[in-house]
Amino acid sequence: MPDYLLEVAEAVREDDGGAVADYIPQLAEASPDTLAIAVTTVNGRTHAAGDVDVEFSIQSISKPFAYAAAIMDRGLERVLRTVGLEPSGEAFNELSLETGTHRPKNPMINAGAIATHQLLLGEDADEDARVERALDFFSRLAGRPLAVDRAVYESEMATADRNFAIAHMLRTHGVIAAAAHDVVDGYTRQCSITVTAADLSVMAATLACGGVQPVTGERVVDAATARHTLAVMAGSGMYDAAGSWLTTVGIPAKSGVSGGLIGALPGQVGIGAMSPRLDEHGNSVRGVKMFERLSRDMGMHLMQPS
Ligand code: GLN
C-alpha cells in the first residue's frame, strides 16, 4: 500500500494545472507544490505518501463534520427545517435559496454551512461556544487536539463580504437568528481549523466506520447521522461537479478551497488528499486525479458490487 500510494502521488506530481485560491489572501501564500494522499482503513491503519504532515486550514471540508455535529446537537428534523438536501448545481458561494421554503439548498455550499454552523449546540449558544463545539468535535474525529489558524481566520474575515451577504440573506428570511457578523465570524473560525491530510483521512474513516473513530474506538457520530452525512456528501460534496464525480469516482467526498479533499467509502476506507491548485469548480486538480486513480485501480466506487 505505501509503495502504491507513492506511485499514485508521483503520477500526478508534474501536473501544475489549476490555481491556488487567492480570494482569501493567506491561502495564496500556500506552497502550490504540497502533495499528499492518505488512506485509513476501517481497522484504523493509515497508509500515506507525500506531505502528509503539512498543516492547512480545513475550509469547506469542515462542512460535513459540522453538519453531523448539528444533527447530533439538534436532531435531524430540526436541522432539515433550516437546511435542505438537494444538490444545488451552483458554485459553492452562490447567493441562492430554495424557492418557497427559503432554506439553503444543502449544507455543503456556503449558505447551507453558515446556517448549519449557527445550529451547533442550541439557541442560546454564542459564537465562541459554537466554535469550541466544532473544535472539540473535529478533534475527536481526528483523534488529536486541533486548533484555529488565526492568520487564516483574520485574512478571510477581512475579505468575507460574500459570506456576509449570504448571512444577511439568511437573516432576511429568518433562516438564522443570530447577528450575521457573529455567524460568519464563527463559521470562518470553523473553516480555519488546521488539519493534515492524515487527519482528514482518519476523520473521513470515522464516517466510513458508521461514526466510530477507528483509531481511538470512540463513537463520535451515531450510525444514522454518519450514513445521512455520507449521503449528502455523495449528492452535493463536489459542488457543481457532484454529478460527474459520482459517476466517475463514486466515493462520497468533500473538497475545500485550501486544496484538501476527503472521501469515505462505507465499511471500507477514509481518504484524505491535499494539493492546493484548484479547478474551476474549486476542487483540487491533483486531488481529483488521485481519487480517480484509486477508484479505478481499487474498485473503490459506491456502485461497484463488492
Ligand atoms: N471559508 C471558505 C469560504 O467560506 C470555504 C470555502 C471552500 O472551502 N470552498 O469561502
- Say if ligand 1 is within 6 A of residue 259 CB: no
Q: How far, in Å, CA of 12 to CA of 8, rounded?
A: 7
116-150 pLDDT, tens digit each: 999 999 988 999 999 999 999 999 999 999 999 99
At residue 1, does pLDDT exceed 80? no
- Say if ligand 1 is within 6 A of residue 256 CB: yes
Q: Is 67 a catalytic residue?
A: no
Q: What's the one-letter identity of residue 299?
A: G
Give me ligand 1 centre to Cα 191, in Å. Answer: 7
Average pLDDT over residues 27-56: 96
Give me ligand 1 centre to Cα 297, in Å. Answer: 31
The pLDDT, as a whole number, for residue 38 is: 98
Q: How far, in Å, CA of 215 to CA of 58, rounded?
A: 20
The pLDDT, as a whole number, for residue 208 is: 98
- Say if ligand 1 is within 6 A of residue 191 CB: yes
Given the CA of residue 192, which atom of ligand 1 is nearest to it?
1
Helix axis angle for 2-13 and 285-298, nearest 10°, is 140
Give me ligand 1 centre to Cα 63, in Å. Answer: 9
Q: DSSP string of 142-191?
A: HTS---B-HHHHHHHHTT-HHHHHHHHHHHHTTS--S-HHHHHHHHHHHH
Confidence at 110, pLDDT banded by 50, 70, 90: very high
| Cβ(60)–Cβ(77) below 8 Å | no
253-306 pLDDT, tens digit each: 999 999 999 999 999 999 999 999 999 999 999 999 999 999 999 999 999 887
The pLDDT, as a whole number, for residue 241 is: 86
Q: How far, in Å, CA of 198 to CA of 264, rounded?
A: 13
| Prediction ipTM score | 0.97
The upper half-sphere exposure of residue 243, i.e. CA atoms within 13 Å in the direction of its Cβ, equals 6
190-242 pLDDT, tens digit each: 999 999 999 999 999 999 999 999 999 999 999 999 999 999 999 999 888 88
Q: How far, in Å, CA of 67 to CA of 232, rounded?
A: 10
* CA 86 centroid distance within chain: 17
pTM: 0.97
Q: Is 254 a catalytic residue?
A: no
Extract the C-alpha cell encoding 23.
480570494
Average pLDDT over residues 168-189: 96
Q: In order of start, what are the domains of the chain with their CATH numbers?
A: 2-56+195-298 (3.40.710.10), 60-191 (3.40.710.10)
- Say if ligand 1 is within 6 A of residue 237 CB: no
